Each structure stands twice: as C-alpha cells, then as structure tokens.
Chains A and B, each alone.
Chain A
Amino acid sequence: MTTRMPTAVDRRAFLQMSGALVVSFSAASILDAADVVQGPFDTRRSHVDPTQLDSWLAVGADGGVTAYTGKCEFGQGMYTAQIQLVAEELSVPVSRVKLIQCDTSICPDQGTTSGSQSTPTNFNERNLAQAAATAREALLRLASQRLGVPVDRLSASDGVVGVKGDAGKRVSYGELVGGKRFDVTVNAHAPRTAVADWKVMGTPVPRVDMTEMATGTFEFVHNVRVPGMLHGRVVRPASVGAAVASVDEASVRGMPGLVKVVVRKNFVGVVCEKQWQAIQAAAKLKVVWTAGPGLPAQHDFYDHLRKQPARDAAVVDSKDVDQKMTAASSVLKATYQHPYQMHGSMGTSCAVADVQGNKATVWSPTQSAYPTRSGVAAVLGIPPDNVRVIYVRGSGCYGINGADTVSYDAALLSHAVGKPVRIQLSRQDEMAWENYGFAYVIDQRAAVDRSGTIAAWDYESWSPSLGGRPGYDQPGNVVTGMLVGFEPAAPAPRAAGAPRGPLRNGSNAVPSYLAGCIDGSCNGAGTIKSERVVTHTIASPFFTGPLRSPARLQNTFAHECFLDEIAAHVKADPVEYRVRHLSDPRLREVVQAAAKAAKWQPRPSPQRTGSGRGIACVAYEGDNGYVAMVADVDVDQSSGRIRVRKLVVAQDCGPITNPDGMKNQIEGGALQGLSRALGEEVTWDERKVTSIDWRTYHSLPLGFDVPEVESVLINRNGVEASGAGETAITIVAAAVGNAVFDATGARIREVPFTPERIVAALRARS
C-alpha cells in the first residue's frame, strides 16, 4: 500500500531536511516593482513576493538548491528545463537542484503556464532566470567577504566558490548561506551566464522524471491519496443549457458506500467510499433536467456563425483594399472552415480536495494555480487566502482541459461532506463539457498584379467564444462554475474601431505576408501594404478555451493554404513565392532551411501524380517562434485516404535550452497537428455533444502509419528565447493540405480532411 501523506507534509519535511525553509512573505507595499518583475501574463500580488530572491531560491545547509517556480511541467519538459537554468546560473550539478512548482503556499504567482510563455517568462531577463543570476551574484559577494578576495578573482563551480590561482582557498554555497535567507532584492541587472559559456543549458539533459514514468512509479494527481479520502462523481446536465428540475435521492438510497448526494443549483454529484461505488451511484441517480434551449444545426453551423451578432475588431486596415481589388489583374477568393476540436486528454481530469470549515487544500493539475485558488474560493464562498492549491501533474492538457473544472468539483464535494474527496471525471463528462478549441470560418481575398505579385490581401473571420480560462474572477468560464451560478464570459456585440498600434498579432489573424502597418508603423512579417484584417467573435453554444495554438492554428491554416492557392494561380514555386512576400529574415530563413532539408525542387503546384509535397510557415504570434514545414503525402484517389510519408520541420526559437526536449515538442506537435488535420472534430445533435469517447472523436492511435519527422533546429543566440510548444502544430494542416493539392490538384478547405471530403474535393476539381 503506497498511501502517502498530503504533499504538504512531504515538502515541509524536505525543506527542513535541507534546512532551507526561507520563503519570503512580505507586506503589500511593492506593487509596481512586482508588476515590473512579472511576466506579460496577468498575475496578482500574493504573499510570495516576486521581487525578493528568497521567493525563488534557497540554498540548504548541504549546498542543495531549491527553486520555486510558477511555471509547471505538463509533459513539455519545463521541469527539467528550469532545473537546467538554475544549475547553469548557479554552477551546480543538475542533480543538486530541486524544483518546487506551482504551490500557492510557497511559489511565486506566475499566473498561468500557457501560451508558449514559460520560456519567454522564465529564461530571459526576469523572474526565475534573473533570480538565479542574483543568487550567484550574492554568493560571490558573500564569498568575497569570507575569503577576503575581490569578486573578480573568484569563480564558482560545482556549488563551491574558489579563488583563481589559489586552490587552497574555497568555500561552499552551503557554508556561505546554507539554511539562511539571502535577504536581497532580485537584481534586474545581475549578469547572466553568456550563451557561449553554457555547460548545462543548450545540452540534451534527459528528463528527470523519465525513469519514474517508464517504471510506473511517477505520481500523477490521479495517484494522490489522502488519509480518509472518499470518492466523488458528478452528474452533468443531460443537454447543453439544461437546468435541474428535480433530483430523486431515493433512487440511490441504500447503495453500498454512498455517503451523500450533493446538489447545488445545477451542480449534482455523489460521494461514496469507493470509486466504483461512486461511478455506479452517479449512473443510477435519477435527475430530471429541463430540455435546454437546443443547439444550432451542425450541418450549416459555419453559415449560422456569419449571421449572428458579433464583437468586431479590425486588426489592420490600409483603407485601400477594395480599390486595389477593383484595379487588380485578377482577384482570388476562398473560404476555409475549421471545426471545434477538443483537448481530449489521455486521462480524464482528476483532483483531490480537502475542505475543512472555511479552509481548503486542493491537489490540482491546473495550469493556473493562483487563479484556481481564487476560483475555488469563489465557488466555496471563502477568502482566497484560505485556499491552498498544490499543483500535481495530470494527463497532458494542451490547454484548458477539465483540470480547472474538476478542481471546483472536488472542492464542492469535499465541502459538502467535510472530508477529503477525490474525483476523476468520466470520459463522457470530460469530452462533452470541456472548453473546446475555437471553430472558425475564414474568408480570404487577394488581388494579384500583372507581375504575379500580391497587391492586396483581405481577411475576414467568424469565430464563436464562450467562457475560457477562469482567471482570478470568472469561475463561470468552466462548466462547474456555471452550474453553481457564475456567468461565463461571452462576447458582447460591438462594431470594430479603427486599428490602434502597435500591431498585435498574438492570434496570427494577420497573415505573415502582410506588412502590418498601423499609423505608419509596420511590424508585420511581410511586404503586402494593402491589407485588411477584420474579425467577428460570436457567442458560442459550447464552452471554448485555449487549445494548443488557439486561433493561431485555424488562422494559419487559412493563410498558408490561401498563399499556396495564389502561388498556384500565378504558376509560382510555393517556396520562392513565400520568400518573395516575406520581409522577416528569421521567417525567410526557416522556410529556406525546411526546403533545403527536404531537397525541395522548385516548381509550381499541382504536379497531380498522386504524390505531392506542400510547405507552410508561421511566425508564431507574430514574434514568438519561427517555423516552417514540408509535408510529403500520397493520396489514394479512389478512397480519399491520405498517407503522410514525411514531415520536415525547421525551427528558430532563439537560444535552445534543451535540443532533445525541443525535438520532442516538434515531433509531438507535428503528429498531434496531423491527428487534428485528418480526423478530429467535435460533433453534436439538437441538444448535446455526441463526440464523447474515442469511437466518436477520432485521434490517430499509436498504430497508424506514422510518418518520419525530421527536425532542423536553428539555434540562434543574441535574441530572446521564445516558446517552442505550439510552433510545429500550427502549420501541419496547411502543409498537408498544400501537399494534397500538389498531389491531386484538389484543394481541401475544411478541417478535418476526412476521406469523404477528399473524395468530394477530387470530384469538384476543375
């Protein structure tokens, strides 16, 4: 039996062992400084003051280093990468660094671990990186005092400060500061280790959690066991928008192990002694639901979106697009459609909560420890300071899966019984109620001049949105919060104002080929100056939220396929045509690097031989990672089946922390993108979601004809490090769609590329 005590006890014991319980708690007096130190994401002040070095790092009496981070490991390798960073800056071996991640009692608030922001936030000139550099500076200063030698004659290695040219004089970190506080402010100017001097950063350090994962001993949140813990299960509404009419508690009375039926407004659940009992009781509990408002028909949903009141925004508008279209030698138009897709985590979401009176501890796989602390507090009606959220890894999430909502579920159920409760969602509850990735319908229009160059580009999109990440204030953004009475965020209709600078292309609504000019300042990646990008956001019938490369993937699918259509129209080579319309040197370079690695032969598409290749590229979020991909495919023209033979990916995300970790992200992103391109689509009927398991939602299994994935890493120093988790996935659908066109001459403009759609596109070929 491996029952363990709450994580809190383990960590306290660990900290006492290393003699370094030196977390910094401060009064609320340095708000401005905190805002400066924190990253670009929304965070709030907490009791862990990010301006203080002690909030980030402690050195134990044994010289071991403990670091505290608000950016967590989900499987993307961030745990190991952050250990590398601390080991590098402090000159200690990787094995001497412990990382404590996303525990609201002891870690700084870094908001949400998402959006390819962990590397930009913690590896450039602030936060964890700068704290580690400050610690090194402080240790050298202390050693200078202790040894009576100026700092410039000191050097540190293996956790020991030595004197250059005097091997006898040395002092260890443990002797200098072991178990004591640094009591210094994070120095924004503390010198960082130069990339040229990296010994640990930039190397393929193996994942520190790999052996435990492979041998089945790694502890996921699903394995957290608290003494006295009960098991819960929720009963979600029978249809979207349904409310509880009645709950018949007698329907489960006397069932073995039943502790309580819990009803709060439209939240219904059961608590039992054992998990299997809870599953059975939830299935048997008779709940009558109202019918709900009904859902728009799926078959014409994209047309439906165009007719709804919308929140409009103009990202760029040069005001001359219509005039250029009229004057052009030819105008091309195309419409692209992308469905709702789901995170569909491998393991359904799970959390454990222990609510006693007005205090709560939640073991949660959330990406947002501090915001979840606020959300749990809101649904329980207690102050956030009374809630401790301890992050424990769940199944890979790829964005907001059920992690936040199940944390609320656990808290509500535990609150109702006054005992610790574990809950893991059913597959159907996970899939029918998660915050889906956005559906999109996108109209593209381009004017081409006599030389075959693009003279103007016009983009207009319609996309539904409801809820999203709860942040600190909106627990109604996920299903459980809404069921207990909080409102989800919905887009209020309003007309678009004039674009305001500087250019914001975080959603990649602006194609890479546009100059991105606002008020005379041009920050796009391309050359086209006659440009208009208008978006319409509509209230969604389903919850939506960030799914790996949110909106960026959908937009890039439309941009990169459309660019390919224009290139084919003017009979230009797709690689050359891209480069011709790009001004950003880093984006041009990845396009050329991918083409070179793939031995690209310049020619116009289509070749119509049944085999083809396509290319796509993106400057992720405008400037957060540069990637290009060449896809080689075979298309069976009778069945419509696509076989992808090879994907070549070239990527530049600045200085690379861990090249093997980056390759792993590229390979995973490429194949996840392929699964989303070929098969994944949320489906529904008149009242409810019908893609509720792996028979109705189609994920490529391990046993499919897996293509070779070749990664070309461009390690660029002298620039900021950018994210690498969402780059490759963004361009897969476009690269494959372009390859299908090259192979067949059929253009497929709707994801997923099912065999039926391919066959239809082949029939529609001109």
Chain B
Amino acid sequence: MSEIALNVNGRSHRLDVDPATPLLYVLSDDLGLNGPKLGCGLGQCGACTVIVRGRAVRSCVTPIGTVAGAEITTLEGLGTAEKPHPLQQAFIDEQAAQCGFCLNGVILTAKAFLDQKPKATEAELQQGLASVLCRCFTHVRMLRAIKKYQEKRV
C-alpha cells in the first residue's frame, strides 16, 4: 500500500491503496462514483472509460499508480443533471439510451475523440468508436446525438 493523490472531477483525494489497483475500483468503490462501470475488466467494451489528460482511458486496466496527480474526469464530472454538458444534452434530446449501462463509455469516448478531431469525418468517427459496445444496440440514436453535438460545436 502507498498513499496516492488523485484528482477527480476537480476534487483532490489522498488514498492509501496498492498502486497496481486498476483505477476503476478506486473510482467506484472508494470514491463512490456511479459513472465509470465494470463491463469486461479487459479493456474491450468501454464501460469503464474516464478522461485522463484529455484522452479516453479504460480505467479497468489502468493501474492507479500511473495516473497519480493527473486530472481525471468521469461522466458525472462532465456535466450535472441540472446543467448537462452539451454532449450529454444531445443524448437526452435524442433519447439515446435503453438500459444506459454503456452510456459512460459512449459519451466519454466520443467527447475525447471530438476534442482531438472536431471535424472528424463519418469514417473517422466510426474508427473512433470501433471498440465501444452497446448491447441494447441503441446505435442509431447515439450516433445521431454525437453528430448533432459535433455539428453544433464546429
């Protein structure tokens, strides 16, 4: 165990934890966050995604020791129910969810991708979402929400 400083959604935390622990378990079990979710534990589905230093990162396979001190944003840190981020608002407007378990990975992956490539083409966006899953297959609405957000933003 060692003390690790975490900066999550603008708040600082000091935690006494094994630095090999994947970030996900600290976010969900120690910090009690609902956004990042355990989908596969293998970095294959996206449900655990958080944004670290501006990039989408799979927290289920990211040892906490590697992100000490970095600014980490989870889905609840992006916007709030009262003031959702424009991308979250686009998902609400399009009613782009069924069970909602994948939304964390879909929204944060799209957010980080479009921050890097605001003018991404359809093919590039497809590439960016190539390893994000939604098993309810709400794809049509989710892609519509992402494109509407992209158009407004550019």
Interface residues of A (CB under 8 A from B): 1-3, 74-77, 206-207, 209-220, 222-223, 225, 231, 256, 274-276, 279, 344-348, 393-396, 398, 424, 426-427, 660, 664, 667-672, 674-675, 693-695, 699-706, 708-709
What is the number of residues of chain B that contact chain A, defined by CB distance less than 8 Å?
A: 63
Chain A residues within 8 Å of B89, by CB: 214
Beta-carbon contact of A701 and B129 below 8 Å: yes
Q: Bound complex: CA of A213 vs CA of B134, how far in Å?
A: 14
Beta-carbon contact of B126 and A396 below 8 Å: no
Q: Bound complex: CA of A699 vs CA of B83, how far in Å?
A: 34
Instruction: Specify the chain A residue showing the minimal Cβ separation from B102.
Output: A346
Beta-carbon contact of B143 and A210 below 8 Å: no
Chain B residues within 8 Å of A77, by CB: 98
Instruction: Specify the chain A residue showing the minimal Cβ separation from B91.
Output: A214
Beta-carbon contact of B47 and A346 below 8 Å: yes
Chain A residues within 8 Å of B136, by CB: 75, 346, 396, 668, 672
Chain A residues within 8 Å of B132, by CB: 701-703
B57 at the interface (CB under 8 A from A): no
The A-B contact count (CB < 8 A) is 196
Chain B residues within 8 Å of A675, by CB: 137
Beta-carbon contact of B143 and A396 below 8 Å: no
Beta-carbon contact of A347 and B38 below 8 Å: yes
**29 A-B pairs (CB sep. < 8 Å):** A1-B31, A74-B99, A75-B97, A75-B98, A76-B98, A207-B97, A211-B92, A213-B97, A214-B97, A217-B35, A217-B80, A220-B37, A256-B18, A275-B28, A276-B21, A346-B45, A346-B134, A348-B38, A394-B101, A395-B101, A398-B135, A426-B41, A664-B95, A702-B134, A702-B139, A702-B143, A703-B125, A703-B132, A705-B126
Q: Bound complex: CA of A196 vs CA of B44, how far in Å?
A: 49
Instruction: Specify the chain A residue showing the minimal Cβ separation from B79.
Output: A215
B130 at the interface (CB under 8 A from A): yes
Interface residues of B (CB under 8 A from A): 1, 18, 21-22, 25, 28-29, 31-35, 37-42, 44-45, 47, 74-76, 78-81, 84, 88-89, 91-92, 95, 97-104, 106-107, 125-143
Instruction: Specify the chain B residue showing the minimal Cβ separation from A704.
Output: B126
Give the distance to chain B from A666, nearest Cβ to Cβ, in Å: 10
Beta-carbon contact of B25 and A703 below 8 Å: no
Chain B residues within 8 Å of A223, by CB: 28, 34
Beta-carbon contact of A274 and B141 below 8 Å: no
Q: Bound complex: CA of A694 vs CA of B131, how far in Å?
A: 10
Beta-carbon contact of B128 and A693 below 8 Å: no
Top 4 A-B pairs ranked by shortest CB distance? A75-B99, A216-B75, A216-B35, A396-B99
Instruction: Specify the chain A residue showing the minimal Cβ separation from B46.
Output: A702
Q: Bound complex: CA of A709 vs CA of B140, how far in Å?
A: 8
Instruction: Specify the chain A residue showing the minimal Cβ separation from B36.
Output: A216
Q: Contacting A225 at CB < 8 Å: which of B32, B125, B139?
A: B32
Chain A residues within 8 Å of B45, by CB: 346, 694
Q: Bound complex: CA of A76 vs CA of B95, how far in Å?
A: 12
Beta-carbon contact of B81 and A211 below 8 Å: yes
Given contacts A207-B95, A396-B101, A708-B140, 4 further A-B contacts (CB under 8 A): A2-B33, A215-B78, A346-B102, A348-B39
Q: Bound complex: CA of A256 vs CA of B42, how far in Å?
A: 23
Q: Bound complex: CA of A74 vs CA of B35, how far in Å?
A: 18
Chain B residues within 8 Å of A424, by CB: 38
Q: Bound complex: CA of A2 vs CA of B74, how far in Å?
A: 15
Chain B residues within 8 Å of A276, by CB: 18, 21-22, 25
Q: Contacting A671 at CB < 8 Å: which of B18, B34, B130, B137?
A: B137
Beta-carbon contact of A671 and B81 below 8 Å: no
Q: A76-B98, A225-B32, A346-B45 are in contact. Are A217 and B37 (CB under 8 A)?
A: no
Beta-carbon contact of A702 and B101 below 8 Å: no
Give the distance to chain A from B74, nearest Cβ to Cβ, in Å: 6
Interface centre among B22, B29, B79 (most CB of A within 10 A): B29
Chain B residues within 8 Å of A709, by CB: 140
Chain A residues within 8 Å of B32, by CB: 1-3, 225
Q: Contacting A211 at CB < 8 Å: which of B33, B78, B84?
A: B84
Chain B residues within 8 Å of A2, by CB: 32-34
Q: Contacting B44 at CB < 8 Å: which of A210, A231, A694?
A: A694
Q: Contacting B135 at CB < 8 Å: which of A210, A220, A672, A695?
A: A672
Q: Bound complex: CA of A585 vs CA of B39, how far in Å?
A: 44
Beta-carbon contact of A667 and B138 below 8 Å: yes
Beta-carbon contact of B133 and A699 below 8 Å: yes
Beta-carbon contact of A214 and B18 below 8 Å: no
Q: A74-B99, A701-B133 are in contact. Are A664 and B74 (CB under 8 A)?
A: no
Chain A residues within 8 Å of B76, by CB: 215-217
Q: Bound complex: CA of A444 vs CA of B127, how far in Å?
A: 42
Q: Bound complex: CA of A668 vs CA of B100, how far in Å?
A: 13
Q: Contacting B100 at CB < 8 Å: which of A218, A398, A699?
A: A218
Q: A347-B37, A426-B41 are in contact. Are A275 and B25 (CB under 8 A)?
A: yes
Instruction: Specify the chain B residue showing the minimal Cβ separation from A660.
Output: B95
Instruction: Specify the chain A residue showing the minimal Cβ separation from B75.
Output: A216
Give the distance to chain A from B49, nearest Cβ to Cβ, in Å: 11
Q: Bound complex: CA of A700 vs CA of B88, how far in Å?
A: 23
Chain B residues within 8 Å of A219, by CB: 34
Chain A residues within 8 Å of B91, by CB: 210, 214
Q: Bound complex: CA of A52 vs CA of B15, how far in Å?
A: 53
Q: Bound complex: CA of A75 vs CA of B132, how far in Å?
A: 19
Q: Bound complex: CA of A74 vs CA of B18, how far in Å?
A: 36
Instruction: Specify the chain A residue showing the minimal Cβ separation from B129.
Output: A703
Q: Bound complex: CA of A675 vs CA of B133, how far in Å?
A: 11
Beta-carbon contact of A396 and B130 below 8 Å: no
Q: Bound complex: CA of A675 vs CA of B78, how far in Å?
A: 31
Give the distance to chain A from B113, nearest Cβ to Cβ, in Å: 10
Q: Bound complex: CA of A207 vs CA of B103, how far in Å?
A: 15
Q: Bound complex: CA of A344 vs CA of B22, how far in Å?
A: 23
Interface centre among B1, B34, B103, B139 (most CB of A within 10 A): B139
Q: A395-B135, A701-B133 are in contact. Are A667 and B140 (CB under 8 A)?
A: yes
Chain A residues within 8 Å of B139, by CB: 667, 671, 700, 702, 704, 706
Give the distance to chain B from A110, nearest Cβ to Cβ, in Å: 20
Chain A residues within 8 Å of B35, by CB: 216-217
Beta-carbon contact of B25 and A274 below 8 Å: yes
Give the distance to chain B from A569, nearest Cβ to Cβ, in Å: 34
Chain A residues within 8 Å of B99, by CB: 74-75, 346, 393-396
Beta-carbon contact of A215 and B135 below 8 Å: no
Beta-carbon contact of A214 and B107 below 8 Å: yes
Chain A residues within 8 Å of B138, by CB: 664, 667-668
